Amino acid sequence: MKINKIEGTVSLRRSLDQGTEVQRKAVLNVIEHVKEAGDNALFTYTEKWDGAKLSTLKVSKAEIEQAYQDISPQIIPIIHEAAENIRNFHQKQVKQSWLSTKQDGTILGQQVTALDAVGVYVPGGKAAYPSSVLMNVIPAQVAGVERIAMVSPPASDGSLPTGVLVAADILGVEEIYKVGGAQAIAALAYGTETIKAVDKIVGPGNIFVALAKKEVYGMVDIDSIAGPSEIVVLADDTAKANEIAADLLSQAEHDERASSVLVTTSELLAEAVKVEVEKQLVDLPRESIARAALEEYGAIYITSSMKEALHVVNELAPEHLEVMTAEPMNLLPYIKHAGAIFLGRYSSEPIGDYFAGPNHVLPTNGTARFSSGLSVDEFIKKSSIVMYSEQALIDSVDKIAAFARLEGLEAHARAVESRFK
Ligand SMILES: NC(=O)c1ccc[n+]([C@@H]2O[C@H](COP(=O)([O-])OP(=O)(O)OC[C@H]3O[C@@H](n4cnc5c(N)ncnc54)[C@H](O)[C@@H]3O)[C@@H](O)[C@H]2O)c1
Ligand SMILES: N[C@H](CO)Cc1c[nH]c[nH+]1
Ligand SMILES: [Zn+2]
């Protein structure tokens, strides 16, 4: 990790991965092929990219039962407890419909309706993510979505990870399909013989998944594009180097393109964290991934004041921000851009990945400047409601007709006037 001293204001935004021309073309071909050939195209690509020769896509009851046989029994109550924490947190996000009656009897309001059908992408290439099953499915359930179709790429033996199957079963997901990548996104958007089309697709994935989601947007809705994981730790000289190093590595191990950054006012701490990171890397099972990520996207920034450090943090707008300072809560009002904020040394980032309750699907690549993590809001829509009283229309008909004529829309004006002719 390189140490950089920062003076004054700097621009540190990372550019968004738009994929290469070859990747974009490949994704377009996949989508067209799935539209034309349906399930057959899904079988072809699953064999090509995942090495699995399948004859059916839907996970069977027998496969779920087998997953319960294979999984360590101790993990099951832990998944249940995590699911409960996540459900309780998301329950607080529920928005109610409302109606408001004016003095003249007019009723105005907003009706909240859950989406009918949602597709959930659970990544499966480099690691298994049962936690992402919980994070994507629970807010949809809390919103009241009736149909949830989950997709995830199989291993070469045609199986899905036991943790993914058990987590989905614990939540009561009935449709689980063994298909991943751009082909899974195309199937959810356009439908095939086996997979019925949905209204919205959510969930993180690699560049092929991200490009496919962008491509089908409009046909269906999508959530934001969550890219490789990121962590920024903001620390002063009270923080502990070994704890910061451990937290930086927790995100670096996700992906060679993950980004782990320390922003600190202490030169001494910066040096100590650099040494600790090297020390802790050595026996990490995913050392090579973490090392590659740190070499390319890792950094330590030293600033001369906390004010400058906060500026750097807001500039980076990270997916996850940890604040490890003497009084972390005091800094909260100055943090404008971060997907999730973890305050104090007992709030290590993986608590949020698995257990605390907030969602772990969060804005990356600086998009926390304008977007938020996955929430119940992503699974609802709002219809406005208008019920005018006779008196209200008498009072405003001339104004509305005048406005319509300002736009040259005579039929609009006559429509409101027709009630009194
Ligand atoms: N932000 C979050 O909440 C969150 C959570 C979990 C994972 N992630 C991220 O999701 C990503 C998961 O990526 P992954 O690759 O491990 O799994 P993935 O499921 O996204 O992608 C695997 C699929 O990619 C397709 N593919 C692979 N190589 C291809 C090629 N050359 N051409 C066309 N298609 C190809 C295949 O269909 C394969 O099934 C990682 O970047 C990880 O950090 C993010
Ligand atoms: N940190 C990831 C989001 O960037 C989510 C995750 C899933 N499992 C472990 N971590
Ligand atoms: Zn993580």
Q: How many other CB atoms are there within 10 angstroms of residue 320's CB atom?
A: 26
- Strand-pairing partners, residue 323, are 234, 343
Residue 206 known to bind ligand = yes
Rounded-to-integer distance, Cα 408 and Cα 421, Å: 21
pLDDT of residue 21: 86
Can you tell me whether residue 300 is helix, strand or coil?
strand
> Nearest C-alpha to atom 10 of ligand 1 is from which residue?
205
Report how far ligand 2's centroid is from the alpha carbon of 393 (Å).
Answer: 54
User: Which of 12-21, 242-251, 368-377, 389-398 has the lowest average pLDDT?
Assistant: 12-21
- The mean per-residue pLDDT over the stretch 252-274 comes to 96
Can you tell me whether residue 136 is helix, strand or coil?
helix
CB-ligand 2 contact for 364 (6 Å cutoff): no
- Known catalytic residue: 319? yes
The residue among 144, 162, 219 whose CA lies nearest residue 186 is 219
Rounded-to-integer distance, Cα 4 and Cα 405, Å: 63
- Return the amino acid letter for 80: H
Q: Which of 33, 90, 311, 320 is catalytic?
A: 320
pLDDT of residue 224: 85
pLDDT of residue 14: 62
Rounded-to-integer distance, Cα 334 and Cα 341, Å: 12
- Known catalytic residue: 65? no
In this structure, are strands 230-235 and 147-152 parallel, antiparallel, or unpaired?
A: unpaired
CB-ligand 2 contact for 131 (6 Å cutoff): yes
CB-ligand 1 contact for 255 (6 Å cutoff): yes
CB-ligand 1 contact for 26 (6 Å cutoff): yes
For the chain, which domains are there?
2-16+227-356 (3.40.50.1980), 21-222 (3.40.50.1980), 388-420 (no CATH)
Contacts of 179 (CB under 8 A, 6+ apart): 42, 45, 46, 57, 151, 152, 153, 154, 187, 195
**For the complex shown, is ipTM > 0.95?**
yes
pLDDT of residue 13: 62
Rounded-to-integer distance, Cα 233 and Cα 263, Å: 6
pLDDT of residue 206: 87
